[in-house]
């Protein structure tokens, strides 16, 4: 049976007080601090008999295991965001895991609309280590799903933005649009700050902090030739008649991102993913031989390369299976595995590529951490020499998404 730590008992008690007074409690606890059990304890102490727990698909088994071992006696139904349309039962309380995934603005996402239907008149516990990673505007639709939103007097995001956001006019590719990123932090938190219970890894007593290591790999000469031709000509055709297009800044950014890690999407005569260079994967196999490793990748063809070099029989995509094994490699696409996945038994977490998203960076790097881990948590980034990855890394480390704006500036496009 899992036993709550003292800080989890304290936070769950405070969450109950918030639920009783405001019908909302937001557990803004840093990753690996135990948000899941804290929220379940809070729901139980609140008196909920039936609870809906909404999470990411890959996290479901871990959530179920934690509840099974908690000794908490209440009904709980765990589902993922993609299945919300099938939820029609009534629950006493809703727990929304990775709540920042509802943060899209100015228009609510489909999942936010479904949750608004499900959560009507119900108390909610929100969970996230990064409630608003890029803008305080990201909080509006998270609370919008609640019948008790602190912003309930504002009918929609646009009405809310008139009060809380300094709207900027911007132009991209000649098209003008409104930028709603610049929400006033003080005004926003004056309205909703009382609903948050924050807690850090340092407060939790984490002894194992993340150590990051960058490895630069020399790619094949043909890889650099392909990248240079794309940058200059914006189109490359090989002797088999396959065409790769980089005729816009967006396409060129995507194609260079692929190529520098050894893959590419062929555009003509038919769209297909192709491995063009195994150098990075071969480097991982040689460098980390004998260690228990987890590998995160960005593109589909990168998974193909990993399976070819390591052999599919040596690979699992299930975190539970990986943690119980001694000889398997865990692999996951960065975005799908950046949240709700515990691979803390790994000796090293390796990123074959890097995502443009700052959220992906901060969430995925925490998969290897737990409070009880005593050995170093080592993250290894595998970058190509002279590639694009260092620039992306610089941006996401500073909590900025890497966009075409950065790309044009960095590479004089």
Tens digit of pLDDT for each residue in 359-397? 777 776 665 555 444 456 788 999 999 999 999 999 888
Sign for the CA dihedral angle at 405, 409, 411, 412 comes to positive
Quote the longest CA-to-CA distance of the chain.
Answer: 69
Closest of 142, 129, 100, 123 to residue 51, by C-alpha: 123
- Alpha-carbon 382 to chain mean position: 19
Cα–Cα distance between 149 and 133 in angstroms, integer? Answer: 20
Reported pTM: 0.65
Superfamily classification of domain 6-204 = Tandem AAA-ATPase domain (3.40.50.10810)
Say what the pLDDT of residue 173 is. 67
Say what the pLDDT of residue 209 is. 61
Say what the pLDDT of residue 371 is. 45
Superfamily classification of domain 210-411 = P-loop containing nucleotide triphosphate hydrolases (3.40.50.300)
> Domain ranges in the chain?
6-204, 210-411
Under a CB-based contact definition with an 8 Å cutoff, are residues 344 and 373 in contact? yes
Say what the pLDDT of residue 413 is. 77
Say what the pLDDT of residue 187 is. 97
For the stretch 190-213, pLDDT in tens is 999 999 999 887 777 665 567 889
Under a CB-based contact definition with an 8 Å cutoff, are residues 359 and 369 in contact? no
The residues of the chain scoring below 50 in pLDDT are: 371-374
Cα–Cα distance between 290 and 272 in angstroms, integer? Answer: 34
Cα–Cα distance between 78 and 83 in angstroms, integer? Answer: 10
> HSE-up of 362 (CA within 13 Å, CB side)?
19
Say what the pLDDT of residue 340 is. 65
Say what the pLDDT of residue 404 is. 87
For the stretch 270-289, pLDDT in tens is 999 999 999 999 999 999 99
Say what the pLDDT of residue 200 is. 80
Residue 75 corresponds to which tokens in the numbers above?
A: 């009904």
Same fold: 6-204 with 210-411: yes
Say what the pLDDT of residue 80 is. 96
């Amino acid at each position: 049976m899992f036993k709550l730590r003292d800080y989890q008992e304290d936070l769950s008690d405070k969450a109950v007080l918030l639920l009783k007074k405001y019908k909302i409690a937001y557990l803004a606890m840093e990753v690996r601090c135990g948000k899941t059990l804290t929220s379940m304890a809070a729901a139980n102490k609140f008196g909920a008999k039936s609870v809906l727990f909404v999470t990411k698909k890959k996290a479901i088994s871990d959530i179920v295991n934690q509840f099974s071992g908690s000794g908490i006696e209440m009904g709980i139904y765990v589902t993922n965001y993609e299945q919300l349309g099938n939820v029609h039962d009534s629950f006493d309380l809703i727990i929304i895991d990775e709540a920042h995934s509802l943060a899209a603005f100015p228009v609510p996402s489909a999942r936010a609309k479904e949750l608004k239907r499900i959560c009507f008149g119900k108390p909610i516990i929100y969970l996230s280590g990064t409630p608003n990673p890029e803008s305080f505007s990201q909080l509006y639709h998270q609370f919008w799903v609640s019948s008790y939103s602190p912003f309930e007097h504002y009918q929609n995001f646009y009405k809310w933005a008139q009060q809380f956001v300094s709207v900027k006019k911007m132009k991209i590719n000649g098209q003008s649009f409104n930028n709603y990123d610049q929400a006033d932090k003080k005004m926003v938190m004056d309205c909703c700050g009382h609903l948050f219970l924050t807690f850090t890894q340092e407060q939790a007593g984490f002894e194992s902090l993340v150590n990051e290591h960058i490895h630069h790999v020399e790619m094949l000469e043909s890889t650099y030739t392909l990248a240079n031709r794309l940058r200059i000509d914006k189109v490359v055709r090989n002797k088999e008649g396959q065409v790769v297009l980089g005729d816009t800044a967006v396409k060129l950014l995507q194609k260079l991102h692929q190529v520098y890690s050894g893959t590419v999407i062929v555009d003509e005569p038919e769209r297909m993913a192709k491995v063009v260079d195994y150098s990075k994967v071969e480097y991982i196999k040689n460098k980390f031989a004998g260690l228990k490793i987890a590998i995160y990748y960005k593109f589909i063809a990168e998974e193909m390369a990993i399976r070819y070099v390591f052999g599919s029989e040596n690979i699992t995509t299930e975190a539970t299976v990986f943690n119980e094994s001694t000889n398997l490699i865990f692999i996951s696409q960065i975005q799908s595995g950046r949240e709700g996945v515990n691979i803390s038994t790994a000796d090293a977490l390796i990123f074959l590529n890097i995502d443009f998203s700052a959220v992906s960076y901060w969430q995925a790097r925490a998969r290897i951490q737990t409070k009880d881990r005593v050995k170093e948590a080592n993250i290894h980034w595998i970058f190509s020499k002279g590639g694009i990855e260092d620039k992306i890394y610089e941006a996401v480390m500073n909590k900025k998404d890497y966009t075409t704006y950065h790309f044009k500036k960095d590479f004089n496009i």
